[in-house]
Amino acid sequence: MMLKKMIFTNSAGILVSRILGFIRDLLTASFLGANIYSDIFFVAFKLPNLFRRIFAEGAFTQAFIPAYAKSKNKIRFSSVIFLQFIALIMFLSLLVTLFSTLVTKVIALGFDEKTVDLAAPLLAINFYYLPLIFMVTFMATLLQYKKHFATSAFSTALLNLSLITALLISKDLDKYTMTFYLSYAVVIGGFLQVLVHILAIKANNLLKIFTFRSFFIKQNKFYKNFANSTLGNSMMHLSAFLDTWLASYLIAGSISYIYYANRVFQLPLALFAIATSTALFPIIARAIKNNDEAKALSLMKNASQILFILLSISTLIGLVFNEFIVEILFQRGSFSQEDSKNTALILFMYLLGLLPFGIAKIFSLWLYAKEQQFLAAKISIKALACNIIFSLILIKPYGAVGLAFASSLSAYVLLYLTLKEFGLSNFLNLITKKFS
By mean pLDDT, which of 3-12, 112-121, 349-358 is the weakest?
A: 3-12
Helical spans, DSSP H, in 171-274: 175-203, 220-233, 235-247, 254-268
By mean pLDDT, which of 147-156, 178-187, 217-226 is the weakest?
A: 217-226
- Over range 358-363, report the average pLDDT: 92
> Tell me, what's the pLDDT at 434?
63
Cα→Cα distances 161→22, 24, 153, 283, 349, Å: 11, 8, 15, 32, 30
Q: How far apart are CA 252 and CA 403, in angstroms?
A: 16
Determine the 3-state secondary structure of 213 from DSSP.
coil
Q: How far apart are CA 331 and CA 345, in angstroms?
A: 15
By mean pLDDT, which of 286-290, 373-377, 397-401 is the weakest?
A: 286-290
Instruction: Grade residue 222 by pLDDT with cuts at 50, 70 and 90.
Output: confident
Specify whether the CB–CB gap between 395 and 387 falls below 8 A.
Answer: no
* pTM beyond 0.95: no
- Over range 233-253, report the average pLDDT: 76
Per-range mean pLDDT, top range of 20-34, 45-59, 114-128: 114-128
- Over range 202-223, report the average pLDDT: 76
Instruction: Grade residue 319 by pLDDT with cuts at 50, 70 and 90.
Output: very high
> Tell me, what's the pLDDT at 216?
67
Q: Which helix (H) or strand (E) holds 205?
A: none
More confident of the two residues 101 and 333: 101
Specify whether the CB–CB gap between 221 and 306 falls below 8 A.
Answer: no
Instruction: Grade residue 214 by pLDDT with cuts at 50, 70 and 90.
Output: low
Instruction: Tell me the percentage of the chain whose pLDDT exceeds 90.
Output: 33
| Angle formed by the axes of helices 129-145 and 36-54, nearest 10° | 30
> Tell me, what's the pLDDT at 263?
84
Sorted by sequence, the CB contacts under 8 Å of residue 216 that are 6+ apart come out as: none
Specify whether the CB–CB gap between 201 and 143 falls below 8 A.
Answer: yes
Instruction: Grade residue 215 by pLDDT with cuts at 50, 70 and 90.
Output: low
Evaluate if residue 436 carries a pLDDT over 50.
no
Tell me which residue range forms the domain holding 127.
Answer: 2-432
Q: How many domains does the chain have?
A: 1
Evaluate if residue 379 carries a pLDDT over 50.
yes
pLDDT in tens, 129-157: 989 988 998 999 889 888 888 888 888 89
Q: How far apart are CA 357 and CA 363, in angstroms?
A: 10
> Tell me, what's the pLDDT at 32?
81
> Tell me, what's the pLDDT at 182?
94
Specify whether the CB–CB gap between 244 and 258 falls below 8 A.
Answer: yes
> Tell me, what's the pLDDT at 426?
77
Specify whether the CB–CB gap between 277 and 58 falls below 8 A.
Answer: yes
More confident of the two residues 34 and 66: 66
> Tell me, what's the pLDDT at 353?
95
Q: How far apart are CA 337 and CA 215, in angstroms?
A: 56
* CA quadruple 176, 181, 183, 188: dihedral, nearest 10: 180
More confident of the two residues 239 and 386: 386
Instruction: Grade residue 107 by pLDDT with cuts at 50, 70 and 90.
Output: confident
pLDDT in tens, 265-293: 988 998 899 888 888 888 888 888 788 88
Q: What value does the mean pLDDT of the chain take?
A: 85
**Which of 54, 15, 431, 429 minimizes the C-alpha distance to 226?**
54
Sorted by sequence, the CB contacts under 8 Å of residue 292 that are 6+ apart come out as: none
pLDDT in tens, 63-100: 888 788 777 788 888 888 888 889 988 998 899 899 99
By mean pLDDT, which of 270-284, 309-323, 379-393 is the weakest?
A: 270-284
